[in-house]
Amino acid sequence: MEKIIIGRNRKDFEEFGEKGTAFIGRHVVGTGEKAHLTNPMYMDVLRPHVVLVAGKRGSGKSYSAAVIAEEMTRLPKEIRENLSVIMIDTMGIYWSMKSPNEKDRRVLAEWKMKPAALNIKFLVPKGFMSEYENLGVKVDCPLSVACSDMEADDWIITFGFSPIDSHGITISRVIKNVRSKFGNEYSIRDIISVLDSDERCEQNVRNALVNRFTAANEWGVFEKKGTPVKNLFARGRVSVLDVSHFARTSSGWSVRGMLVGLLSRKIFHERLKARKTEEFEVMGGGSKETIPMVWIMIDEAHQFVGDGAEGPATQPVLTLVKEGREPGISLLLITQRPNKLHPDALAQSDLIISHRLTSKADIEALRSVMQTYMLKDIQNYINNLPRQKGSAIVLDDNSERIYSVQIRPRLSWHAGGSPAAIKEKGFLDF
């Protein structure tokens, strides 16, 4: 049966054919009880993309993102080793990819597939590692940030201040003095010590900032030396960065935004350097080890690159949206509120996978990026989807077509389902 390939332009299809495509599901033909699955659907992963995965809670958007991540590890070796996946996990659900999806073995058999564990690289903030270890879940690497990686503006935005108020001005001055005194290796305690000795700081401002930095020290993520960004890249593998623990803090989304902003900037700069090396190699300048192309998958993306107040991740992620293709960075943004996503992120998405949506505002957001190739209103396409999880519509800006799709079942265990009052039968013993 002929394959449907989304996201691939005509020139690449003529040159590469079906190489470098990921199996995501099957085309759905018909509506209601008459709907049936037909052609297998594949997604281009040779070129960088900005992919939006939308859907209301429980419709399967996080599940679909995991399917795409799984597919990256199933590509032929010569393609797989040139790619890496970094998943920003805000809900703490992707750690289970280390285990096979035994509970859906029968469903997978219908798709001629088998349960399989993924060899993911699992990272959690250093201060929370013991929680997972106590549960028997192996953490592969601690995630930490060097204090020197934080610019004064990063602290200001994370703490919710303005660069021109007394708190912001004090932070800028203190960070400058800290770097002058300690160089590029210093701790939050060093920042507090310099803040305490700052004679120009008013007492009420000092107290407020000491409280903020003390709280930041308890986040369990800041150290003198942080996790090198190169440790996040694993050729042909998925790296899961679990930042869900910060939901417990009053500034939880600011902390997560700070981490996503820092990582986005670092990855962008690393890939810019790698791209120059790759171009030099093509020109005949010899070979040199570089970091691979990367897919960054961000759950709850509207919290990081929203259309409201700017946060610590807004500009770094928008840089990836607008300029990430050139250095080989793909973005996959997952959200249940597309109307809350920054307009630039919506407009730059060349592939949209939308599960069921019921909010008028969210449907209007997708309608705003509709192209002329859509023959009828997007609401009709969504309403005609089968009433089951994993069904979605795909808007492909490359082929200028829209499809209905049933996302394939996952090979690895899905930990994102809602709990039930009746305890489910266990398949695994952690």
| CATH number of the domain residue 250 falls in | 3.40.50.300
Instruction: Select from 160, 190, 223 the last residue of a domain.
Output: 223
Domain of residue 191 covers 147-223
- 341 occurs within a structural domain: no
pLDDT of res. 249: 59
Instruction: Select from 175, 200, 223 the last residue of a domain.
Output: 223
- 292 occurs within a structural domain: yes
Residue 39 and residue 136 share a domain: yes
- 430 occurs within a structural domain: no
Tell whether pTM > 0.85: yes
Question: Which runs of consecutive H residues, i.e. helices, occur in 202-313?
Answer: 203-217, 252-282
Residue 266 and residue 127 share a domain: yes
CA distances in angstroms from 417 to 6, 33, 297, listed in the order given:
28, 25, 19
Residue 258 and residue 201 share a domain: no
Model confidence over 304-317: pLDDT tens digits? 999 887 888 999 99
- Cα torsion 221, 145, 86, 305 to 10°: value is 90
Residue 21 and residue 8 share a domain: yes
Average pLDDT score over the chain: 89
Residue 192 and residue 310 share a domain: no
Residue 96 and residue 198 share a domain: no
Residue 179 and residue 140 share a domain: no
Residue 273 and residue 133 share a domain: yes
Residue 242 and residue 113 share a domain: yes
pLDDT of res. 5: 96
Residue 266 and residue 134 share a domain: yes
Model confidence over 258-290: pLDDT tens digits? 999 999 999 999 999 888 887 877 776 656 667
- 8 occurs within a structural domain: yes
Q: Please report where in the chains the tokens 């809350």 appear, as a residue.
A: 340
Asked if 68 and 334 touch (Cβ cutoff 8 Å), the reply is: no
- Residue type present at position 376: K
pLDDT value at 352 more than 70: yes
Of 38-47, 61-70, 275-284, 393-402, the least confident: 275-284
**Across 62-76, average pLDDT:** 96
What is the count of structural domains for the chain? 2
- 240 occurs within a structural domain: yes
- 88 occurs within a structural domain: yes
- 129 occurs within a structural domain: yes
Instruction: Grade residue 428 by pLDDT with cuts at 50, 70 and 90.
Output: very low
The more confident residue out of 130 and 338 is: 338
Residue 52 and residue 100 share a domain: yes
Concatenated DSSP letters of 104-119: GHHHHHHTT-------
Q: How far apart are CA 359 and CA 356, in angstroms?
A: 10
Instruction: Select from 223, 240, 274 the last residue of a domain.
Output: 223
Which among 146, 11, 18, 37 has a CA at the least distance from the CA of 406? Answer: 37
Model confidence over 207-217: pLDDT tens digits? 999 999 999 99
- Residue 152 CA, distance from chain mean position: 25
Residue 313 and residue 169 share a domain: no
Model confidence over 392-401: pLDDT tens digits? 999 998 888 8
- 427 occurs within a structural domain: no
